[in-house]
Homo-oligomer: A and B are copies of this chain.
């Protein structure tokens, strides 16, 4: 009877924390979409909304950290339950960083609005943002459902993001070499592309954490990870 009571109190706590993660995830998803949208449409108002919204995301992470610590102290969960709570802390940390990247993208909107437009990259940037947002959504769904297969699927999709980033990198180099007046805009756009690529890496880390929660072990390290796409030296003859 008493044990029953303890178990359900813990479950309630865990569910409350998970609800906060889902809420935080929804805000970060919106920040990714709005951040890239503000940039592509040079929408300063939307960019400001994303910047202001990051504070709410940061506060939620703080709250999740506190609730997790409180739950651990109060319920002293063992093995699997503890693993879930520690994973939640990691997920919240990654979400906070994805939110930061989205904010940084939005912050460049005002800079890019002053610079000459670069043709062709907007569509790819928008698609990258949309794809990363979908990856994040599936990661959170996989977390709630403890669905390792869906999380593995997310991990595999990161390659597409990397490929799009790689294509953009070459495109920016070409634009810069063709006309030096493109250089500043391309430097900023390149930053943005890299930020989205990094968001993809972070979401992939989150998906790996979900596999860990669902199965008890991390997935095999077979994905082509992180900062490996941009080592092209390109044809230097301008």
Nearest-neighbor residue (CB-CB) of A181 within chain B = B236
- The answer to whether B73 touches A231, judged by C-beta atoms less than 8 angstroms apart, is no
Of A76-84, A124-132, A156-164, which stretch is located at the interface?
Answer: A76-84
The answer to whether A180 and B181 touch across the interface, beta carbons within 8 angstroms, is no
Choose, from A3-11, A20-28, A106-114, A147-155, the stretch at the interface.
Answer: A106-114
A residues touching B (Cβ–Cβ < 8 Å)?
Answer: 65, 68-69, 72-73, 76-79, 82-83, 86, 89-90, 93, 100, 104, 107-108, 110-111, 114-116, 169, 172-173, 176-177, 180-181, 183-184, 187, 190-191, 194, 226-228, 230-231, 233-234, 236-238
Assembled-state Cα–Cα distance A180/B178 (Å) = 8
What residues of B have a CB within 8 angstroms of the CB of A115 in the complex? 233, 236
Could you pull out 15 A-B pairs where Cβ atoms are within 8 angstroms?
A72-B82, A76-B76, A93-B93, A104-B227, A107-B228, A114-B233, A115-B233, A115-B236, A173-B183, A181-B237, A181-B238, A183-B236, A184-B233, A184-B234, A187-B190
